[in-house]
Structure 1
Amino acid sequence: MRGTVPGLGIPYPIGGLLPAVYQEDFFAQRFTAGLDEVLAPVVSTLDCLDAYLDPALAPADFLDWLAGWLGLDLAEHLTPQRRRALLARACDLYRARGTAPGLREHLELVFGGRVEVTDTGGVVIGPLRPGQVPGGSAAGPALRVRIAPAVAVSPLLVEEFVARVKPAHVTHVVEVLQA
């Protein structure tokens, strides 16, 4: 929660910006000093706005807010370092969304460890060249995901995550290898 910060100054006190007649008025100076104290965190935040929008520098409680701007769902089990890495790579993840390498990278960022994503029936493995047609099978597109996460996670959690980030028309099989 943000609030007043004891001892935080304001670069341009309001009392010094008033006309000369009010700069000599004791009440006006005390009143504007109170405003300075309340406005100091706002001015400080605006002066440092770029740091709030940078995933590497943003306060930990702002990471979920940044993720909401980008449409990312940050799971509660993620450490702040992993959340920052995921936010920093968000644009690249969206660019590769729907491809096996994109899914693999997304899984590595969220769960860590080793991840293998294999096409078992016509999924686009990488970018297609003009005129190139993706392969396919009678069963339709399918993925096989094998993951050995860095920390023990519920297979159901991985299953739900894969179902959310893969293309909707692609079937999948998830195998979680616990350490």
Structure 2
Amino acid sequence: MTRGLVPGLASPYPIGETLPGVFRGDSFTQRWCAALDEVLAPIVATLDSFPAYLDPATAPEALLPWLAGWMGIALDGHQSAERQRELVQIGVELLQWRGTARGIRAAVRALFDLDPELVESGGTATSPQPGTALPGGDRPELLVRLRVPNPDDFDVRRLDALVDMAKPAHLPHRVEITG
């Protein structure tokens, strides 16, 4: 149900009461203002409770995918409303780690409740000697390996989509599922 369909929703700020005294006694003006109040009451009620719409714990269920979209999270409908609320809240906390190995691990853990193995092609090193070999491979790549109880029943596309959202945009990736 939307706010506009709530019967008898009263405006907390009736327009007729804000008019000068000469119009307060006028029946036509008061009826006209009451009609405006009826139209504006759902808008005022929505704006007054706007912070509750932005909080994953109190937002209407229909808004959860929209809130998740702000953080680049795509809720796929496999979760209950309560789980979706948890994922949006976790997404808020994980946003600071997006694009990092820590962020990818945490995102996989949050969605699948399993710890992934990450194999990266890059690395860092320091050396006092010039010409020291660089660490890592010459082609950037990320491999996310996940051990699951039953690989045949696991939806690899969900994992692939999650890794695609959590990894750095420029980095190619692959996912592997093992039993």
TM-score, length-scaled by structure 1: 0.75
Using the TM superposition, give the Cα deviation of residue 53 of structure 1 relative to its aligned residue in structure 2, in angstroms: 1.2
Secondary structure of the structure 1 residue equivalent to 2:116: strand
Gaps of 5+ in 2: 128-133
Distance 2:88 2:136 in 1: 33
Task: Please name the residue that 2:174 is paired with.
Answer: 172
Corresponding letter in the other structure for 1:38? V
Distance 2:17 2:140 in 1: 72
Using the TM superposition, give the Cα deviation of residue 175 of structure 1 relative to its aligned residue in structure 2, in angstroms: 0.6
Alpha-carbon displacement from aligned partner over 1:137-175 (angstroms, at most 9, x marks no partner): 4665432321538xx642233234324433343433321
Distance 1:166 1:153 in 2: 21
Distance 1:138 1:16 in 2: 73
Task: Please name the residue that 1:80 is paired with.
Answer: 81
Distance 1:12 1:142 in 2: 57
Distance 2:70 2:144 in 1: 31
Secondary structure of the structure 2 residue equivalent to 1:81: helix
Distance 2:54 2:90 in 1: 14
Distance 1:163 1:72 in 2: 11
CA contact (8 A) 1:115 1:145 kept: no
Corresponding letter in the other structure for 1:169? L
CA contact (8 A) 1:146 1:174 kept: yes
Task: Please name the residue that 1:113 is paired with.
Answer: 113
Using the TM superposition, give the Cα deviation of residue 46 of structure 1 relative to its aligned residue in structure 2, in angstroms: 1.3
Task: Please name the residue that 2:130 is paired with.
Answer: none
Cα pair distance change 1:69/1:155, threshold 3 Å: closer
Distance 2:19 2:75 in 1: 47
Using the TM superposition, give the Cα deviation of residue 109 of structure 1 relative to its aligned residue in structure 2, in angstroms: 2.3
CA contact (8 A) 1:115 1:148 kept: no
Secondary structure of the structure 1 residue equivalent to 2:115: strand
CA contact (8 A) 1:100 1:117 kept: no
Return the index of the structure with the highest Cα Rg. Answer: 2
Distance 1:75 1:147 in 2: 22
Task: Please name the residue that 1:49 is paired with.
Answer: 50
Distance 2:148 2:71 in 1: 27
Corresponding letter in the other structure for 1:51? A
Distance 1:65 1:144 in 2: 27
Using the TM superposition, give the Cα deviation of residue 106 of structure 1 relative to its aligned residue in structure 2, in angstroms: 0.9
Q: Aligned residues, how many?
A: 168
Distance 2:82 2:63 in 1: 13
Distance 1:97 1:136 in 2: 22
Secondary structure of the structure 2 residue equivalent to 1:73: coil
